[in-house]
Every structure is written in C-alpha cells, then in structure tokens.
Amino acid sequence: MGSVNVGLENLVYAKLIKDEKGNIQYGPVQPFAPAIQANVDTTNEMSTLYADNGPIIVNSNIGETKVKLGISEIPQDVLSDITGQKLVKGVIVWKKGVVPPYVALGFTGTKEDGNVRHVWLTKGRFGIPGIDWKTAEDKTDFQTEEIEGTFIQRSDKVFKITGDSSVEGYEEYRDKFFDEVFDVSKLDSSSTATASTTTTTKTSTSGGAA
C-alpha cells in the first residue's frame, strides 16, 4: 500500500550554465524561498492513428511543464537572479527586454509515512511574480507571493528527475540529491534513464544575472 504527500519543503534552484550533449553544467544549488504550494503540470498529448476502421497506433508527446509556486516572499537577491534583473544595494530597477536565465528547480514532497519524494525540474524560466497588497486589519491577513515558470527538456531530453525514499536503493542518493542538480550518469548504465554529464560550476550570483 502506498503513501500520500502531505507537505512541501526545501525549495531550491540552480542556474543552468551550459546545455550541450555530454556537457551540462549548473551553478551551485541555492535556496529559493519558503514554499507554501507547488503546482506542476506537464502536458502530455495522446494521438491515435486509425486504419482499417480502427485504431492501430497511439503516440504520446510530452510537452512543456508549467510550474506555479505559492511562497511567503522571494528574497530580492533570488528574485533578481532568476529574472535576470539587476540588483544594486537592495534596489531592483525592472526593465523590459531582459531575458531570464534558465534554471533548474528542486523541491521535496513529504509523505505521511515519513518518506520523501525529491524532484528536480531541469530547465526552465520564471516570469515576474505577482502579489496582492492589502491594508492591515485587526485580523492578520497573510499576503503571499505567486510566481510561474515554464520548464522544458535539456539537450539530453531529460526534463524531470524524481527520487523516492520508499524505493529500495534510494538511500544512496537521499541525502545528496540536492547537493547539485542530480547527475543521471551516476545511475547504473542498465537503467532506462538517459546518461549525461552534469557538473556544478561555482559562480557568484550577487547583483543578479546579466
């Protein structure tokens, strides 16, 4: 009997530095913001070919992944980093035409039986976050932020990586899954996963991305 997800924690990101077959590099893994909710929706279009008065082939086409995050507040340095806007002494001057960098997004889903589901989305961009402002009243009304991103596959066609501690053998990766964007070449060559070379490049992110 399986378990169910009951929580969300450890929202992190890493900037994608290089995306070439056999040479995939990310910057260091960094905290994103305290997570309240994460909605991840991957489009999966099914097409059926008919012949001789009946279906003969069903084709599955996996498309983009839409991510909607509900968070308490995104720190200014993280916000400038993921949107490509420049941060100077706590001030972001928002400009049109700035292209956000590609990033990987990671998070942990906690389960009621104590196990966890770890997730990496490997390549995507975030838009400008939205927030509702409201005057303070006698009763506290928490005003949270919401940000949306679109994620796609890398050059090696990997678009998502998940690990589950309820599966035997995962203990090897459980405590290291977020040390870097998970390098799938670590998996046994007999696995159905696509092997790639993923490295982490130590880069400074102060002041936002160009």
Q: How much is the pLDDT for 145?
A: 85
Q: How much is the pLDDT for 160?
A: 96
Q: How much is the pLDDT for 93?
A: 93
13 Cβ contact partners less than 8 Å away, ≥ 6 residues apart:
29, 30, 32, 78, 82, 103, 104, 105, 106
The SS3 of residue 39 is strand
Q: Which secondary structure element, helix H or strand E, spans residue 120, and what is its range? A: strand 116-126
1 Cβ contact partners less than 8 Å away, ≥ 6 residues apart:
none
Domain ranges of the chain: 5-200
Q: How many Cα atoms are found within 13 Å in the side-chain-facing hemisphere of 139?
A: 1
Q: How much is the pLDDT for 133?
A: 55
- Cβ(34)–Cβ(12) under 8 Å? no
Taking the chain (210 residues) in consecutive chunks of 10 residues, what is each chunk's mean pLDDT?
72 96 94 90 82 79 90 91 95 94 95 90 92 59 80 95 92 93 80 49 45
Burial category of 66 from C-beta neighbours within 10 Å (exposed 0-12, middle 13-18, buried 19 and up): middle
> CA distances (Å), 106 to each of 3, 112, 204, in order?
21, 20, 19
Integer Cα distance of 78 and 131 in angstroms? 16
- Cβ(98)–Cβ(82) under 8 Å? no
Q: How much is the pLDDT for 26?
A: 97
